[in-house]
Amino acid sequence: MLKTIIKMRKAAAPTPPADIDGVRVVPNGRARRLSLRVDAKLGDVVLTWPKRTSLKSAERFVRDNKDWIEKHRAKLTPARTFAAGDAVSVGGKTYIIRHETGRGLARLAGDALVVHGDAAHIHRRVRDFLKAEALRQLSALSHEKSASLGLKPSSVRVLDPKSRWGSCGADGRLMYSWRLILAPADVMDYLVAHEVAHRVHMNHGPAFWRLCASLTTNAKASRHWLNEHGKTLMAWK
């Protein structure tokens, strides 16, 4: 009887996610085990992901080390909160936070960002307004730049990642940090161009950078701004 020999193919290594519970994932094929470290340049904790790590084990590792993560994050730039009288940039324009009693939706009025309600809730109300405004402006930019490439509008989400400004999924879905609304308009435009360019090139090769540069006006200056001020921007709670 002839024996059929079946060659078993090695299972493909799982693709690591961009982050796990807000902790940025850094793939490293030479690493032997999962580990956490503080990235001084990034200003946050990152997770080293060895080759062939399972998502389940990585998620468990992050959960088991939650106290360590929070302890080391606490040593970084102190969290910043919004208060009445503060100047805040919204899409590249500066407004002064003004608190008014009574009920009403947060809104821009002249050179003020007006918030109502209990003074103890000013930070939350300002942040909620900024998240909504970030979604509005980032969605508009994303759809505009996608359309310029002949791509259908992709879904856009605004979340609260602690270690990255944005991401583009293999399905074309775009995600941004709400804190981008606090950056200069050119910087926000660059970040959108960066993620939209990933809809064509899922890498950081020369073709990607050429396309990215064609979608915005100040790519180099914007990257420099983020290197200089990104840590401070990420400190907003």
Residue 9 within a domain = no
Q: What percent of the chain has pLDDT over 90?
A: 70
Residues 69 and 131 both lie in one domain: no
- Kindly state the average pLDDT of the residues 216-236: 91
Q: Has residue 94 got a pLDDT over 60? A: yes
Residue 166 within a domain = yes
Residues 136 and 224 both lie in one domain: yes
Residues 151 and 216 both lie in one domain: yes
**What CATH number does residue 187 fall under?**
3.30.2010.10
Residues 149 and 220 both lie in one domain: yes
- Kindly state the average pLDDT of the residues 51-70: 92
Residues 128 and 226 both lie in one domain: yes
Question: pLDDT by residue (tens digit) across 122-155?
Answer: 999 999 999 999 999 999 999 999 999 999 877 9
Q: What percent of the chain has pLDDT over 70?
A: 92
Domain boundary among 74, 107, 141: 74
Question: pLDDT by residue (tens digit) across 166-224?
Answer: 999 988 999 999 999 999 999 999 999 999 999 999 999 999 999 999 999 999 999 99
What pLDDT score does 140 carry?
Answer: 96
Q: Has residue 1 got a pLDDT over 50? A: no
SS3 state at 164: coil
Residues 129 and 213 both lie in one domain: yes
Give the predicted TM-score (pTM) of the model.
Answer: 0.70
Residue type, position 219, single letter: A
Q: Has residue 4 got a pLDDT over 80? A: no
Residues 54 and 137 both lie in one domain: no
Residues 138 and 230 both lie in one domain: yes
- Kindly state the average pLDDT of the residues 152-162: 87
What's the structural domain count of the chain? 2
Residue 64 within a domain = yes
Residues 131 and 213 both lie in one domain: yes
What is the span of the domain harbouring residue 159?
121-234
What pLDDT score does 2 carry?
Answer: 40
Residues 36 and 138 both lie in one domain: no
Residue 116 within a domain = no
Task: Note whether 25 and 7 are within 8 A (CB).
Answer: no
Contacts of residue 186, defined as CB under 8 A and 6 or more positions apart, other chains included, come to: 92, 216, 217, 218, 221, 222, 225
Task: Note whether 220 and 194 are within 8 A (CB).
Answer: no
Task: Note whether 25 and 47 are within 8 A (CB).
Answer: yes
Q: How confident is the model at residue 9 (pLDDT cuts 50, 70, 90)?
A: very low
Residues 129 and 66 both lie in one domain: no
Q: How confident is the model at residue 41 (pLDDT cuts 50, 70, 90)?
A: low
Residues 70 and 129 both lie in one domain: no
